Amino acid sequence: LRRKSKDIQKLTQGILNGNKTDLSQAITLIESQSKRHTEDIKTVISTCLPYSNKSLRIGITGVPGVGKSTFIEQLGLLLVNQGHKVAVLAVDPSSSVTRGSILGDKTRMEKLVQHPQAYIRPTASGESLGGVARKTRESILLCEAAGFDILLIETVGVGQSETAVHSMTDFFLLLKLAGAGDELQGIKRGIIEMADAIVINKADGENIQAAKKAKVEFNRALHMYPSKSNGWTPKVKLASALKNEGIENTWNMLSDYFTKVKSNGFFKEKRSSQNKFWLTQTIEDSLKKEFYQNENIKAEFPEVLEKIHSQELSPFEAADYLLNKAKS
Ligand code: GDP
């Protein structure tokens, strides 16, 4: 049922007071498919918006098993102990396929989840990437309004989810394993190019030598790309999330990055271009959806397609025809 506007006000106030239960409830509304909830959450988001945008948004990606949750827990604990408020969100459109979310799972970050200054939200499942990405972005705004000043946005290395996370974060961190042999894949898929840093995890025990070697190789791979417009050279670091080694070092690197891009204006510039991207993307998605759901289009589409097959119409002429049809 639609909540009364008084309830919505209370919910919004709760978020602004940093109440995690209210934050969770609001994110549940964001994730809901119901139209009523969509209306309710619009009010919440617009009230929270002026209080958002203040956090550092860090994207973290890597294949399952690389140590994402172990790493995020250690980094998160380091940060909350420094007085930060840390929220962990996840983007994983595949979780409905792989059954159950493998990201943002609270049982994977047991210590962090218990910390009063931490908030962990498991993935919204059963959705398209576009849907999950939008919901995560809206959740980011609410987390920020609730006072979380560091957001860790986790994703697995599948499909286009890295690109989505890259487009909603200030820093993109790629977790890797030494000798996993997927370096070339990462280069091919453009993941390495997106990375602001590569952290080679599990650099412990017998792995240390291989990790050091991988560091050299990844440094070489990163140098194949032209330098970034933000004046930042992507770094390669070693870590052992399990032994809590290299985490503080990684954080120092992140701090350096933020100091640099905040002083040279790139931080703001990147956020602006991301906002513009999400604006145009949302418009395009919505126009597309409207077009294909149009009754005229649905009725004529098969026939037009048939005419293209039989070479009565070119695909371009057909598109013009249908686009005009949608307007009528
Ligand atoms: P995720 O799937 O990427 O979230 O990976 P997990 O954090 O769940 O870690 C997968 C496995 O690797 C677990 O058994 C962890 O204990 C182990 N692991 C994580 N980080 C390290 C590390 O730095 N060194 C070692 N040796 N094992 C690790």
Q: Are residues 134 and 221 in the same domain?
A: yes
Each residue's pLDDT tens digit, 266-289: 999 999 999 999 999 989 988 999
Given ligand 1 and candidates 66, 68, 69, 70, which is best to mutate, with the most ligand atoms within 8 Å of its CB?
70
CA–centroid distance, 240 to ligand 1, in Å, is: 9
Q: What is the CATH number of the domain that holds 63?
A: 3.40.50.300
**Which atom belonging to ligand 1 lies closest to the Cα atom of 108?**
8
| Parent domain of 78 | 52-264
273 belongs to a structural domain: no
Q: Are residues 175 and 208 in the same domain?
A: yes
CATH number, domain containing residue 45: 1.20.5
Q: Is residue 133 within 8 Å of residue 90, measured between CB atoms?
A: no
Do 319 and 188 share a structural domain?
Answer: no
Mean per-residue pLDDT, 117-139: 83
* Atom of ligand 1 at shortest range from CA of 103: 4
Q: Residue 71 Cα, ligand 1 centroid: separation in angstroms?
A: 8
How far, in Å, is the centroid of ligand 1 from the Cα of 152? 17
**Pocket flag, ligand 1, residue 70 (CB < 6 Å):** yes
Same domain, 132 and 248: yes
- The answer to whether residue 173 is domain-embedded is yes
Q: Average the pLDDT over 302-325 and give the result.
A: 96
Average pLDDT over residues 97-119: 73
Whether residue 132 is contained in a domain is answered as: yes
- 127 and 181 co-located in one domain: yes
Given a cut of 80, whether residue 90 has pLDDT beyond it is yes
Exposure b/e, 17-31, CB count within 10 A at least 16 = b: ebebebbebbbebbb
Q: Is the CB of 66 under 6 A from ligand 1?
A: yes
Please tell me whether residues 107 and 167 are part of one structural domain: yes
Distance of CA 18 to the CA centre of its chain: 22
Q: How far apart are CA 165 and CA 161, in angstroms?
A: 6
3 state DSSP class of 284: helix
| Angle between helices 266-293 and 247-263 in degrees, nearest 10 | 90
91 touches ligand 1 (CB under 6 Å): no
Q: Is 201 in the pocket of ligand 1 (CB under 6 A)?
A: yes
> Rounded CA gap, 23 and 133, in Å?
18
Q: Is residue 187 part of a domain?
A: yes
Residues 294-308, buried b or exposed e (16+ Cβ, 10 A)?
Answer: beebeebeeebeebe
- Which of the four pLDDT bands, split at 50, 70 and 90, describes residue 2? low
Mean pLDDT of 33-47: 89
Residues 213-229 have pLDDT tens digits of 999 988 988 888 888 88
The CA-CA-CA angle for residues 316, 322, 325, to 5°, reads: 145
Find the mean pLDDT for residues 25-46: 89
259 within domain boundaries: yes
Question: Are 236 and 218 contacting, i.e. CB atoms less than 8 angstroms apart?
Answer: yes
* Ligand 1: residue whose CA is nearest its atom 18: 67
Per the model's pLDDT, the better-predicted residue between 97 and 64 turns out to be: 64
| Co-location of 99 and 199 in the same domain | yes
In the block, residue with structure tokens 């809206």: 138
Indicate whether 161 and 286 sit together in one domain. no
Do 85 and 192 sit in the same domain of this protein?
yes
The reply to whether 164 and 285 lie within a common domain is no
pLDDT of residue 100: 46
Ligand 1 neighbour 64 (Cβ under 6 A) = yes
Considering the domain architecture, whether residues 101 and 225 belong to the same structural domain is answered as yes
Is 171 within the bounds of a domain?
A: yes
Q: With helix as H, strand as E and coil as C, how does the chain read?
A: CCCCHHHHHHHHHHHHCCCHHHHHHHHHHHHCCCHHHHHHHHHHHHHHHHHCCCCEEEEEEECCCCCHHHHHHHHHHHHHHCCCCEEEEEECHHHHCCCCCCCCCHHHCHHHHHCCCEEECCCCCCCCHHHHHHHHHHHHHHHHHCCCCEEEEEEECCCCHHHHHHCCCCEEEEEEECCCCCHHHHHHCCHHHHCCEEEEECCCHHHHHHHHHHHHHHHHHHCCCCCCCCCCCCEEEECECCCCECHHHHHHHHHHHHHHHHHCCHHHHHHHHHHHHHHHHHHHHHHHHHHHHCHHHHHHHHHHHHHHHCCCCCHHHHHHHHHHHHHC
Is 233 within a domain? yes
Residue 160 resides in a domain: yes
Q: How many structural domains is the chain composed of?
A: 3
Q: ipTM, 2 decimals?
A: 0.99
The residue-averaged pLDDT of 138-143 equals: 96
58 and 32 within one domain: no
